[in-house]
Structure 1
């Protein structure tokens, strides 16, 4: 039975002192990219994303946090490198996906199936019908425009998040995928050949986790602090 873990942390809560300490774990390439961000919130998202990815990977495969290297790949998801003595089969099976929105960082991991993850903050001030018409197919935008007004914001971001997560899932080969229609005959689609999407709960956000194979369970962990040592204590480590 396949499963995944979804980790969530609020990067807005990171202090300057913690950010300086956390940045020490970044590689030279990561640090160079980190320092290029102009907006503070985007810098914090990147930093917490890389720290959280190392932490989640270390928990999933049972190796030390600082034994994991991350290689930058322009235009693609980062590549994790485990110690040379680590079993290659586990390294190949380990899958992850990162996303961020409004300071929140999400990381999904699995040893069973490739993943695609997206998180989007709900923004009721946007013209949902107009944006949907520009961003979605004719069938998808028609489905959205015919919904009750009270349902449109959540439906828009749920659809957007599913499409983003599915794009990530289908982009593992480095090729530009052609996304399927997510509304067919006025029916919202959450699965298809080689994919399924599941919505995960986070107030005021849409969170979508797409997987190549059906997931029997998704463990969702909301980390309350902003450092790996505090996360370990929260999870009951000595």
Structure 2
């Protein structure tokens, strides 16, 4: 599996022709410039990496963004044609990531290590009781880093399963940050509980990220920097 990272500075108008009509409309309605650039980079990097595997021009990669619940164009992006490839997009602050996997569903999550965060409030929402107890057993200075590691693991798993945050995070329990990533208990809403393999990543030596793959025990990840490819892209 390949994970590509890009930085916000790689966004430029030359990437706009890569977007299809649905993506372009969504892009043009985003008011905040940084959010708009993150969306553009996620679309463009996905298309570049999938185009390489499908052997088609990036702009011709057939993507679908239909929400399975309301039919709106904001669901998890997927290939619109049968393909062995699945992918996942994440973004936080000045970073965007895309994971592409063959033969399994994949989820990728990234968080900024130094972003302002109310750890207490977030932990009460996201952590199971044993996880919360373990978090507060740590020195206060290390709690945000520990929480973000657990959070990225949970987000990656739920993205891989395609359920997002529609199930209680507190019922999805994962291993402690210092331990190899693993799911310890599942939310009761998930009647189908496939094996999930995970890997922890660290972007720029600082920002925690996690990737999860369904039907796997171990995850072999190759990471690369997609910033240069995006910055140099000419349609």
Aligned length: 214
- Partner-residue secondary structure (3-state), 1:22: helix
The answer to whether structure 1 residue 221 and structure 2 residue 228 are counterparts is: no
| CA-based RMSD | 2.8
1:133 is paired with a residue of what secondary structure?
helix
State which of 102, 105, 118 in structure 2 corresponds to 1:111: 102
1:132 is aligned to 123
Name the stretch that deviates more: 207-216 or 66-75: 66-75
Aligned partner of residue 111 in structure 2, secondary structure: strand
Distance 1:127 1:135, change over 3 A: same
Distance (Å, rounded) in 1 between the aligned partners of 2:79 and 2:111: 25
Q: CA deviation at 1:206?
A: 1.2
CA distance in 2, matches of 1:228, 1:65: 15
> Mean Cα displacement is larger for which, 95-104 or 208-217?
208-217
CA distance in 2: counterparts of 1:187 and 1:229, whole angstroms? 38
TM-score with structure 1 length normalisation?
A: 0.78
What TM-score does the superposition give when structure 2 sets the normalisation length? Answer: 0.79
User: What SS is found at the alignment partner of 2:200?
Assistant: strand
Distance 2:152 2:165 in 1: 20
Out of 8, 11, 31, the position equivalent to 2:8 is: 11
8 Å contact 1:54–1:68 — kept in the other structure? yes
Q: Which has the higher contact order (CA 8 A, sep 6+)?
A: 1
Partner residue, 1:182 = 174
Structure 1 position 118, deviation (Å):
0.4
Q: For the residues of structure 1 that align with 2:166 and 2:116, how far apart are their CA atoms?
A: 31
Once residues 131 and 102 of structure 1 are traced to their aligned partners in structure 2, the CA distance between those partners, rounded to angstroms, is: 18
- Residue 24, structure 1, aligned to residue 8, structure 2: no
